[in-house]
Amino acid sequence: MTGPLDVKLASVLGDRSAKALAKAFGMATVGDLLAHVPRRYARRGELTALSELQVGESVTIVAEILSVTERTMRARRGSILEVTIGDGRGVLALTFFNQAWRKADLVKGRRGIFAGKVGEYRGIRQLAHPDYELFEAGDERDTGPQAQQWAMQPIPIYPATSTVASWQVQKAVAVALDTLGPLDDPIPAEVRAERELLDHRQALEWVHRPDDDRQWRRARDTLRFHEAFLLQVALLQRRAQLREQPATPRTPGAELAGFDAQLPFELTADQRLVGEEIARDLASPVPMNRLVQGEVGSGKTLVAVRAMLTVAESGGQSALLAPTEVLAAQHLRSIVATLGPDRAARLRPVLLTGQLSQAERRSTLLSIASGASRIVVGTHALLGDKVQFADLGLVVVDEQHRFGVEQRETLRRKGSVPPHVLVLTATPIPRTVAMTVFGDLDVSTIATLPAGRIPIVSHVVPLAERQELWHRAWQRLGEELAQGRQGFVVVPAIDATTPEDDPDALEPDADEAGAGGAAPSGQGADAARRPPASVTELTPLLRSHPALAGRRVEPLHGRMSTDEKDAVMRAFAAGDIDVLVATTVIEVGVDVPNASTMVVVEADRFGVSQLHQLRGRVGRGGVPGLCLFVTSAEQGSLARERVEAVASTLDGFELATIDLELRREGDVLGATQSGGRSSLRLLRVANDGDVIGDARVAAAELLERDPTLAGHPGLRDALDRRLDDEARAYLEKN
């Protein structure tokens, strides 16, 4: 694959500029540079609103020079050049030490682009030693039509670094565009014509060097579709490849029929529908690759157990991978209880975790390898080299977002032929994310909850406005306990120090350490500096609180041994513990029907999905659920808005969309699961659902006509260029 976009930057820009761009942005080719599209567009005639700039923010702004003064420093030899720039309403100071020669350029009345980090000195905001580029002298004073066009022409503002400014990127882009040869368009001509898209060369020209707003908007629309189309082609190709692999068909029989007959309740309509979809997949000679999403308590685990029974009917084994030892142990107890003693004796479900004794581990491994155990539940210990299956027919991954791609793939490869894969998540996924991050999976949704579930009532406890509500929260918990119920208290950390990783590598206390170590966006510097509330700190305080006098309050966290955690959970489930003070180790799967109340301390340290998952631990029996989100976040802050959003609705899909908007979609073509880094350049799955859906339709139609893309060399080259080795490996394993 060679073409104009594959030309090395050094041959176009020279070694020095190429090395600077490689170091700042990881660019190597002309294609890399031209894919670095502007963040926004400014105008020479429109000044930046300086009053909106925040201290500590790195900015690139358009402003006018208002004054220039030079003064001698008293304490040491040298001078300070002080420049004031403004937008007609606010001012910003520029400070240069021992650079008096800049007076020749920095003349009152001139306009330009200034870049730097906003600081503050004696109450005045400033940029110290900023980078800048002034507009050509004299042009801004003209009054004719050309001057008006000059003033309104969009100026691209690029993502920049402290070493490479926006206008340096702009100059490099201009050189690359001037030397760029003809391009093969990755989008087929009929697709472009139907959607009135620009050709690729024109889109690159207009996004980087527009004459007006219409041009860059059309260019961005075209390039946004390019990105969505390439991603969907890659995902759909992967989907087709998966369906080319052979799998052992598994059909339901007497085992599943007998199980269904003994259930003490009716399956919901969604459970029946999803069960039918899974049954069709399992009966197919190609591997199932299905994601089942559903609200907390919607019955996903029961659907998975029915799939395991179908596999067991033909002598196959199922492996359920759970993110924590607590959840794995509960899954095993729940499965055994659901199967009933006779069926459990035949299928011999076993638990494999990292905390088993050598003798227990040896016995469990033998039962798995011989095929005696048809159902295996475990944590990351299932991924070990010594774990061998006789006939692995089904892999069930619970809460898939807790596992890396490598871990899921390691378990899948333990089958002699590709096993069927069923992924469960209680974190509802917006349709656009499902089409991008999980584009090669079939998606099923269980939206309805079992009959008898009473909605959970949620309240924000705003300590920033009313500190006395801290004690009222514990009084409210005590009132629930007085009615014979139980409660959870959830905190961000194990203790005041940074927590050690749990021996179980997938235990979420590693995440808890992160939650305690830094405040989420919008929480504020004070919150980031103070230690988070912890299990070890809060447990003795609650034991001595008057509202909880005489109550048994016990801790639960990831540093406890497997036996300790299991003993605590058993005691809590039996009603011997009134209040469990825990980390997010109880976020998923823990099921205690008598637990009616949850108090989340420092709720602003948790994400939207986490809070929703935690809340789902209460109200699972016949009693109303109550969740109190205690927060010191200021009203109007992003952290407070996040907590209030969760308290305002029980709709997990609505919250998932909010969460996506706050956290972005993560790296859909690499290992990152969520957060700031994203391989997407222009596409945003939170906002571009229509574009993604349209691109998927176009990609599917194209691949149906030309599965190997033999007639579309430009598209093949673009895929090779877009999907590096890491991205291809990700798609192979996902």
pLDDT interval class at 146 (50, 70, 90): low
> Mean pLDDT throughout 279-298?
87
Residue 515's pLDDT is 30
What does each C-alpha distance from 615 to 282, 428, 597, 601, 648 come to in angstroms?
33, 14, 9, 13, 13
The DSSP H or E segment spanning 147 is helix 145-152
Residue 402's pLDDT is 59
Q: Which of 297, 613, 243 is nearest to 421 (CA)?
A: 243
Least confident of 62-71, 357-366, 719-728: 719-728
Q: Which of 165-174, 596-605, 722-731 tops mean pLDDT?
A: 596-605
**Residue predicted with more confidence, 122 or 549:** 549
Q: Which of 722, 720, 728, 718 is nearest to 671 (CA)?
A: 728
Instruction: Report the share of the chain in percent with pLDDT over 90.
Output: 40
Question: Where does residue 116 fall: left (phi above 0), alpha (psi -120 to 50 degrees), or beta otherwise?
Answer: left
Amino acid identity of residue 24, one-letter, is A
Sign (positive or negative) of CA dihedral 684, 685, 690, 694: positive
Sorted by sequence, the CB contacts under 8 Å of residue 681 that are 6+ apart come out as 35, 37, 223, 227
Least confident of 36-45, 432-441, 650-659: 432-441
Residue 525, pLDDT above cutoff 50? no
> Mean pLDDT throughout 252-271?
89
Least confident of 121-125, 177-181, 525-529: 525-529
Least confident of 138-147, 164-173, 347-356, 446-455: 138-147
CA 582 to CA 569: how far, in whole Å?
Answer: 11
Q: pLDDT by residue (tens digit) across 189-248?
A: 999 999 999 999 999 999 999 999 999 999 999 999 998 999 889 888 888 887 788 899
Residue 509's pLDDT is 34
Residue 148, pLDDT above cutoff 60? no
The DSSP H or E segment spanning 601 is strand 595-601
Residue 670's pLDDT is 44
**Residue predicted with more confidence, 206 or 505:** 206
Sorted by sequence, the CB contacts under 8 Å of residue 728 that are 6+ apart come out as none
Q: Which of 30-39, 490-499, 585-594 tops mean pLDDT?
A: 30-39
Superfamily of structural domain 457-649: P-loop containing nucleotide triphosphate hydrolases (3.40.50.300)
Residue 149, pLDDT above cutoff 90? no
pLDDT interval class at 587 (50, 70, 90): low
Kindly give the pairing relationship between strand 79-86 and strand 40-43: unpaired
Residue 122, pLDDT above cutoff 80? no
Q: What are the structure tokens assigned to 387, written together? A: 């774990």
pLDDT interval class at 430 (50, 70, 90): low
Residue 374's pLDDT is 96
Q: What are the structure tokens assigned to 253, written together? A: 């029989």
Residue 321's pLDDT is 92
pLDDT interval class at 63 (50, 70, 90): confident
Residue 517's pLDDT is 30
Instruction: Report the share of the chain in percent with pLDDT over 70.
Output: 82
Least confident of 243-247, 285-289, 529-533, 672-676: 672-676
Radius of gyration of the chain (CA): 30
Residue 620's pLDDT is 77
pLDDT interval class at 54 (50, 70, 90): confident
Kindly give the pairing relationship between strand 486-490 and strand 375-378: unpaired
The answer to whether the CB of 367 falls within 8 A of the CB of 576 is no
**pTM for this model (two decimals):** 0.64
> Mean pLDDT throughout 493-518?
42
**Residue predicted with more confidence, 589 or 257:** 257
> Mean pLDDT throughout 701-723?
88
pLDDT interval class at 405 (50, 70, 90): low
Residue 732, pLDDT above cutoff 50? no
Residue boundaries of the structural domains of the chain:
254-283+299-425, 457-649
Mean pLDDT of the chain: 82
Q: What are the structure tokens assigned to 53, written together? A: 């700039």
pLDDT interval class at 162 (50, 70, 90): confident
Residue 426, pLDDT above cutoff 80? no
Residue 226's pLDDT is 93
**Residue predicted with more confidence, 540 or 167:** 540
pLDDT interval class at 119 (50, 70, 90): confident
Residue 96, pLDDT above cutoff 80? yes
Give the burial string for 389-426 (b: 16+ CB within 10 Å, else e). Answer: bbbbbbbbbbbbbbbebebbbbbbebbeebbbbbbbbb
pLDDT interval class at 291 (50, 70, 90): confident
Least confident of 411-415, 508-512, 613-617: 508-512
Return the C-alpha torsion angle 191, 194, 199, 200, nearest 10. Answer: -40
Q: Is 569 helix (H, G, I), strand (E, B) or coil?
A: helix
Residue 268's pLDDT is 87
- The CATH class for the domain spanning 254-283+299-425 reads alpha beta
The answer to whether the CB of 163 falls within 8 A of the CB of 23 is yes
**Residue predicted with more confidence, 159 or 144:** 159
Could you tell me where the DSSP H helices lie in 283-386?
300-313, 325-339, 341-347, 358-370
> Mean pLDDT throughout 465-482?
94
pLDDT interval class at 649 (50, 70, 90): confident
CA 193 to CA 187: how far, in whole Å?
Answer: 10
**Residue predicted with more confidence, 468 or 140:** 468
Residue 521, pLDDT above cutoff 50? no
Residue 673, pLDDT above cutoff 80? no
Q: pLDDT by residue (tens digit) across 600-642?
A: 999 999 888 788 888 888 887 777 899 999 999 988 888 898 8
